[in-house]
Amino acid sequence: MKNVFHWVIGLSITALALAGYWADPLPARRLDLLLQDVHFRWRGPVSPGADVVVAAIDEKSIDELGRWPWPRGVMAGLVEALQNYQARVVGFDVVFSSPDPSSGLESLKSLRDEARALGPNGAPILPLLDRHIDRADNDQRFAQILNRSPGAVLGFFFHFNRRGLEHVSDAERRAAFQSVQYAQFRGFIKSRPDIDLESIPFRSAYAVEANIPILAQSARNAGYIGFDVGPDGTVRKLPLIVKHFDKGSGRSSFFTPFSVRILERYLDGSLLFKVNPLGIEKVLLDAADPIEIPTGPSGEFFINFTGTRFPEFSIADIVNRRANLAPPDRFKDKIVLIGATAAALEDLRATPFDPVYPGVHLHATAVDNILRNNFLRRPDWLPLANSALLLVFGPLLTAVYSRVRPAAGPWVLTGLFAAQCAANHWLFACRHILSASVFPLLENILIFAGIMVYRFATEEKQKRLIKNVFGHYLSPTVVDQLMKNPGNLKLGGEEKRLTAYFTDLEGFTAVAEKLSPEELVRLLNSFLTEMTDILLKYEGTLDRYDGDAIKAFFGAPVYFGDHARRACWVCVEMQGRLAELRKTWKREDKPELYMRVGINTGPMVVGNLGSKKRMAYGMNGDSVNLAARLEGANKYYGTYSLIGESTYREAKDFIEARELDSVRVVGRDNPVKIYELLGKTGEMDPGVRKSLPFYNRGLELYKGRQWDEATACFTQAIEAHPGDRPAKVYLGRCSRFKDQPPPQDWDGAFNLESK
């Protein structure tokens, strides 16, 4: 039943994880992005390619050239220097959205207007003013330089919502978009003629910050310079296409990013989008060596961050031709990106590696990714693969956590969690696949937590009960096994083949009468402690103490097949320890105790026995009663350790024993063979070993009614070992049977007349 609840928990969490994966809630998306960032940091920085360098608007340039924005003449000088250095493409991660305010051009134009208003009086100075206006028109000069630079690419900026632009009218917005129509993208390839591009979920722009017309018309190449900023403010993607819907015309215009326009110039190629009804099917940079760019259906491109900066040179060093700081050969045939790195200019973005990474280096990273085919991919099959993983992983996790011990559970969870992370990282670092999803990890954690909480509430409660109930009369090892496998315990009672073990002290009543109550308790506690320690050492189960008697059994509640051997060895060790204690007690002038033991193996019922209000885990049955009879039978033979025939058969390879008799006990009609336990294998008393052949021969003759011959053998046994009490018992029997022979149907059994 408990396992059923485990599966209910596990499969419910699996279903929730699968539903959550497809619902893709924002918190899960945030966690996915954080996992993606972790993989970047685990992978570490990598070296960028050598095709891209950065001309930096840095602190040094601002110190030398003045505060930003600089006069357009400085930018013109920068482009001229890069042309001289044979840079192949020059890209501006800067938007020139207003005329140059630093040239004084507007003031000169005002003077010219005033001179014209003076008529003939102002005519003489008009040519002079025109010459100064021409020289002061930095925008014109910059435009001329751009016009002579086919590799120049400008950037413009999109606003994706109305925030902060409430004051801009629709007419102004439409006019601004008209100024970037020259950069419109038209390279769509439709898989079907009826595909409506308006239905594809491209990112949509609200407004544009464009370059002033004179510069835009001169450069002829431009792309937008924005990135896709995640919900946590970190840049991870670049949209390869953005649309703007014009309400007036009812049509959309499409635009590609700055980095792609740079590559089109660098590779002399063009970007192509193959679209189907679901979105983008394929993106191709069609050049001499075509490059297929992996994207999602809406054209998002995952940036594979290097974690380092690209080669960077201060613009101050470039325009001042400091060859030692900005060597010309570092720009030859390169893509040069011009952008801000100074913190004060606030063109800093958060990335997985760096919370303040210059935007110009982000563009360099995108260019480098595409140029070197160094892509991160999210294949179309990934959602189905992750779904299959959730469906397979859930039942497997349920099976594992249902079986693992709670103490080992956190280690198993940690190992599986680490394996999941390692597999995801291998896909990321080696296969460049963005497979990271938080849901398989959450599924792992939640199934573990759900099952462990349930187990703690149920199984752990049962284990605590086991410890409380059995801790006082089972060995710690057995208690631990029961706690690990509580299913092995059936408290309601069950029949098993076990070994029962009974002890009693010889003449303890007489001993008790000679001692004070305190002395008696101390002596008895000392004896029981020593004997119980040996019992628990061999994982015997203490049934109960009955005064000075010990009642125990072997093989339950945790079963082990050698229960007969363990019981016999416990008896041998108890008798040996008691002999040592007698020496101590003798020195202390205390009574010397002797213990009788009866052991029998057979079927018996074990379990919680008793009333509803009071129960105890114990044993019952005919085999148990026989063990008790054997303990008492020691009195007839002068022995201290008797075992039944079934115990002897199961333990004979591990013990020394001799056949003692066949007896008929009270309550049984059939006789049973009994044996005296003499020690562990190879540990028999030398005197007993010497007398044993005579004893065994005498017993054989006794069974054959050869009383005189048997008497001679038993006499020899006693001569070899004077303390052989069973041999003395048989001498007495032989004498009686010689005078009064038993009946003809005598079966050799001795009737025990008392319990």
Say if residue 493's pLDDT is above 80: no
Residue 481 maps to a domain: no
Does residue 605 register a pLDDT over 60? yes
Q: Is the peptide bond prior to 395 cis by the omega test (within 30 degrees of 0)?
A: no
d(CA 217, CA 459): 78
Question: What pLDDT was estimated at residue 99?
Answer: 85
* 627, 751: one domain: no
Helix (H, G, I), strand (E, B), or coil: what is residue 141?
helix
Residues 177 and 233 in one domain: yes
Which residues, including other chains, have CB under 8 Å from residue 750's CB and lie 6 or more apart? Answer: 636, 661, 662, 663, 664
Tell whether 150 and 281 lie within a shared domain.
yes
Structure letter (DSSP) for residue 303: -
Lowest mean pLDDT: which of 19-23, 189-193, 279-283, 632-636?
189-193
pLDDT at 486: 58
**Nearest to residue 234, comparing CAs of 152, 329, 357?**
357
Tokens found for residue 232: 């946590």
133 inside domain: yes
Q: What pLDDT digit, counting tens, does each position of 536-585 carry?
A: 999 998 888 888 999 999 998 888 899 999 999 999 999 999 999 999 99
Decide if 480 is inside a domain: no
Compute the mean pLDDT over every residue in the chain, rounded to the nearest whole number.
Answer: 87
Task: Decide which of 684, 705, 731 is a domain's last residue.
Answer: 684
Residues 357 and 389 in one domain: no
Distance from first CA to last CA of the chain, Å, rounded?
46
CB atoms within 10 A of CB 292: 12
In a domain, 570, yes or no: yes
List alpha helices for 432-543, DSSP H.
438-457, 459-470, 476-484, 508-513, 517-537
Q: What is the pLDDT of residue 426?
A: 93
Q: Give the residue-averaged pLDDT of 478-503.
A: 72
650 contacts 542 by C-beta, under 8 angstroms: no
479: in domain: no
3-state SS, 92-120, equals: ECCCCCCCCCCCCHHHHHHHHHHHHHCHH
Q: In this predicted model, what pLDDT tens digit does every residue of 401-414 receive, in sequence order?
A: 888 887 888 999 89
> To 10 degrees, what angle do helices 72-84 and 138-147 make?
20
476 belongs to a structural domain: no
Q: Please say which residue of 351, 371, 391 terminates a domain.
A: 371
DSSP 3-state assignment of 348? strand
Using a cut of 0.75, tell me whether the model's pTM lies above it.
no
Percent of the chain past pLDDT 70, that is, above it, reads: 89
Instruction: Answer with the one of 630, 661, 684 that is the final residue of a domain.
Output: 684
Say whether both 328 and 393 belong to one domain: no
Query: Could you report the per-residue pLDDT of 666-718, keeping only the tens digit for each?
Result: 777 789 999 999 999 999 999 999 999 999 999 999 999 999 999 999 999 99
- Mean pLDDT of all residues in 367-382: 91
- Tell me the percentage of the chain whose pLDDT exceeds 90: 48
CA dihedral 638, 644, 645, 650 (to 10 degrees): -120
pLDDT 10s digits, 282-314: 899 988 899 999 998 888 999 999 999 999 999
- 170 & 286 share domain: yes
Interior angle at CA 352, CA 349 and CA 357, nearest 5: 30
CB neighbour burial string for 483-515, b if at least 16 within 10 angstroms, e if fewer: beebeebebeeeebbbbbbbbbbeebeebbeee
pLDDT at 128 over 60: no
Span 79-90, average pLDDT? 94
Domain that holds residue 724: 685-755
Query: What are the pLDDT digits (tens) for 171-191?
Result: 888 888 888 888 888 888 777
DSSP track, 250-299 = TEEEEE-BHHHHHHHHHHT-EEEEEEETTEEEEEEEESSS-EEEP--TT-
Asked whether residue 490 carries a pLDDT value surpassing 70, the answer given is: no
* Angle of helix 438-457 versus helix 26-43 axis, rounded to 10: 110
158: Cβ–Cβ under 8 A, 6 or more apart, which residues? Answer: 205, 206, 207, 208, 209, 224, 226, 242, 255
Same domain, 343 and 423: no
Residue 306 lies in a domain: yes
Produce one character per residue of 63-78: b if its CB has 16 or more CB atoms within 10 Å, e if not. Answer: eebeeebbbbbbbbbb
Residue 132 has a pLDDT of 47
Side-chain half-sphere CA neighbours of 496 within 13 A? 22
| Burial environment of residue 47 by CB neighbours within 10 A (0 to 12, 13 to 18, 19 or more) | exposed
Range of weakest confidence among 10-24, 453-467, 619-633: 453-467
Task: Check whether residue 334 and residue 385 sit in a common domain.
Answer: no
Are 224 and 119 members of one domain? yes
226 and 134 housed in the same domain:
yes
> Does some domain include residue 111?
yes
Before 297, cis peptide (omega within 30)?
no
Residue 637: CATH number of its domain: 3.30.70.1230
* 552 and 589 inside one domain: yes
170: pLDDT confidence band, cut at 50, 70 and 90? confident
CB 54 within 8 A of CB 360: yes
CB hemisphere CA count around 298 (13 angstroms): 13
Structural domains counted in the chain:
4
Do residues 20 and 29 touch, judged by C-beta distance below 8 A?
no
73, 151: one domain: yes
> Domain holding 708: CATH number?
1.25.40
